[in-house]
Amino acid sequence: MVDAHDSKSCLARGGGSSPLSGTEMKRVLVIVGPTASGKSELAVRLARKLGGEIISADSRQVYKGLNIGTGKVTKREMHGIPHHLLDVADPKKQFNVSDFVSQARQTLKAIEAHKALPIVVGGTGLYIDTLTGKISIPEVPPNKLLRKKLEKLDKEKLFKLLKKKDPMRAKTIDKDNKVRLVRALEIVEALGHVPTPTTLSANSRELENRFVYVGLKPKDLDKRIYKRLVKRIPGMIREAKQLLKQKRLSYRRMQELGLEYRYLALYLQNRINKNELVEKLNVEIRQYAKRQMTWFKRNKKIKWFTMSSVEGFKSEEYKKVEKYVRSVV
């Protein structure tokens, strides 16, 4: 999901320089925006024009087999452009921001070693802001006693508690994801609040300045979300059944993954029908997109572009994006 928190951080702490800092590193393009905004398509088009390679910054597309439900780019849609950090984790296990940053940094070095333009693309704000040095998640070890207490509460009570203790974090978290609610409250207990993109360590400033941002903001995002959802529903159901049959996912794990997988679990257990699956997912995904925008709007370095058509960029709109990108990378 968009904003998972964890107990580790592989960002630099104290003195010293970041693994990505220094004059050897060129500009890195970061493409952000809400779900269904066309980020992957734009990234591929720009990569083909500018000689780039793509690093996915999506907290669920890292998992093997979670393809249709996460909206993962297909081989055909890649058009031969190398994509990284897709299918790198076992869906049974948690993959956190520390894992992402560690792998993404190594990938950035490899891309730059053969003179390609790194393009980071995704909607998981925490992953992007941690990689780019905007925030540093401190090490907060698991509080077993607190977790045991919190896990007895349902997600509604957990969200209400988080909203009271840390309203800012409550605005961006997936309120239906109990694992993340518990983790956020654990961090609040230790620090008083969950770090936000305004928390910038001094030795991260040089790193942060190496990244340039493009944001997509379609005019008809709700229509794009619904159109994509309806198209994907049959494939998502087949995929979920297969993952369960292969024992790569359990119903409990599907609930933890949230959004599409949460509601697919309910559907496959006959707790909701297909119409309810579509209706509930449509509402939830739209709310998720709003949370993504709430997160990204904090970053004043993002250059936003509007897509006026539900079908995608018009020619003149794409040219504006490409012209801007060429001027900054």
Q: What is the pLDDT of residues 47-96, one digit of tens each?
A: 999 999 999 999 999 999 999 999 999 999 999 999 999 999 999 998 98
Q: Given this model, what pLDDT does residue 4 score?
A: 37
Residue with tokens 């890195």: 28
Model confidence, pTM = 0.82
Under DSSP, the state recorded for 181 is H
What percentage of the chain has pLDDT greater than the value 90?
Answer: 66
CA distances from 315 to 35, 141, 153 (A): 22, 50, 51
Tell me the mean pLDDT in the region 147-160: 90
In angstroms, the CA 118 to CA 107 distance is 9
In angstroms, the CA 284 to CA 270 distance is 19
Q: Is 83 helix (H, G, I), strand (E, B) or coil?
A: strand
Q: Given this model, what pLDDT does residue 208 score?
A: 66
Give per-residue burial for 243-259: e unless 16+ CB within 10 Å, then b: bbeeebbeeebbbbbbb
Residue 54 phi/psi, 5-degree rounding, is -110, 135
Q: Which residues contact 254 (CB under 8 A, 6 or more apart)?
A: 240, 261, 262, 264, 265
In angstroms, the CA 187 to CA 169 distance is 11
Residue 208 phi/psi, 5-degree rounding, is -60, -35
Q: Given this model, what pLDDT does residue 198 score?
A: 52
For residue 13, pLDDT over 80 is answered with no
Between residues 313 and 156, the one the model is more confident about: 156
Question: DSSP letters along 213-254, please?
Answer: EEEE--TTHHHHHHHHHHHHHHHHHHHHHHHHHTTS--HHHH
CA distances from 122 to 30, 37, 60, 82, 144 (A): 8, 10, 11, 15, 32
For residue 276, pLDDT over 90 is answered with yes
Q: Which residues contact 30 (CB under 8 A, 6 or more apart)?
A: 57, 119, 120, 121, 128, 132, 211, 212, 213, 214
Instruction: Judge whether 208 and 134 are in contact, CB under 8 Å.
Output: yes
In angstroms, the CA 315 to CA 320 distance is 9
pLDDT tens for each residue of 237-272: 999 999 999 999 999 999 989 899 999 999 999 999
Instruction: Judge whether 2 and 129 are in contact, CB under 8 Å.
Output: no
Q: What is the CATH number of domain 28-138+197-219+296-328?
A: 3.40.50.300
Token couple for 329: 């990378």
Question: For the chain, which residues make up each domain, given as ranges?
Answer: 28-138+197-219+296-328, 141-194
Number of Cβ atoms within 10 Å of the Cβ of 296? 23
Between residues 293 and 96, the one the model is more confident about: 293
Token couple for 89: 């984790």
Q: Edge-to-edge strands of the sheet including 302-305?
A: 83-84, 52-56, 117-121, 28-32, 211-216, 302-305
